[in-house]
Amino acid sequence: MNKKIKTLESENRIRNFFKKKRLDLKLKQQSQASQKIDDLINRHQGFLESRSIGFYKAINSEIDPMPLLNRALQKGQRCFLPRIIDYSNSKLSFAAYDLRDDLITNKWGIQEPSPDAETISPRSLDLVFLPLVAFDEKGHRIGMGRGFYDRTFAFKNQSAAKETHPFLIGLAHDCQKSHNLLPQNKWDIRLDAIVTPSGLIDISLPSDYI
């Protein structure tokens, strides 16, 4: 068995393990976690100073960032949601979103902006919140396995000087933290920070939770 296949099998085992932990959370626990994260991020300077922010529509017990999106709109910040533009090549665009806008449901049951919504280059976003299945203390992330976010933000790895924008923040329940380093592929994008109900893990700092 070659190394690539072994890595994929390991990722799938980890993904299934943490998906179950997340799905086992009761609705009250999910709601409380989202509220704590909302309170933490609302005090974060990066969130308060960002002008263009990418969000996502939560499914399957993911942390719901919609309260944060509502706050951002009230502050006059521009908000964007991901929209799949190429299923076969796992490509996303980010389309402008306002609470008055209608959303459509894609083939995976995720709500997204309509095809005629205004889009923005991922490079032009200041901050992006990402869903995840599992994470570790180094900012490694395991998602659903389709690679949409990795391909969309691949430029952050490709630049010799390493792009600092957008700042990528993963939102997660505490139970989604892996105490072992997660397997990684060369194309995987590392998060800049993770926020759980217990606090913020800033990957650029030597300490764990601040």
Please state, in angstroms and rounded to a whole number, the distance separating the CA atoms of residues 161 and 173: 32
Class of domain 3-202: alpha beta
Per residue in 176-202, pLDDT tens? 999 999 988 888 999 999 999 999 998
pTM of the model: 0.90
Show me where the domains of the chain are located. 3-202
Q: Look-up: residue for tokens 């996502």?
A: 56
Burial of 116 (0-12, 13-18, 19+ CB in 10 A): exposed
Q: From start to end of the chain, where are the E strands?
A: 52-54, 78-86, 91-96, 103-105, 111-113, 119-120, 127-130, 134-135, 141-142, 167-171, 193-196, 199-202
Please state, in angstroms and rounded to a whole number, the distance separating the CA atoms of residues 50 and 55: 13
Calculate the average pLDDT of the chain: 89
- Digit-by-digit pLDDT tens for the chain (210 residues) are 444 444 556 889 999 999 999 999 999 999 999 999 999 999 888 899 999 999 999 999 999 999 999 999 999 999 999 999 888 888 899 999 999 999 999 988 999 999 999 999 999 999 999 999 999 999 999 998 888 999 999 999 876 556 678 999 999 999 999 999 998 888 899 999 999 999 999 886 544 443
Q: What is the dihedral of CA 31, 37, 43, 49, to 10 degrees?
A: -110
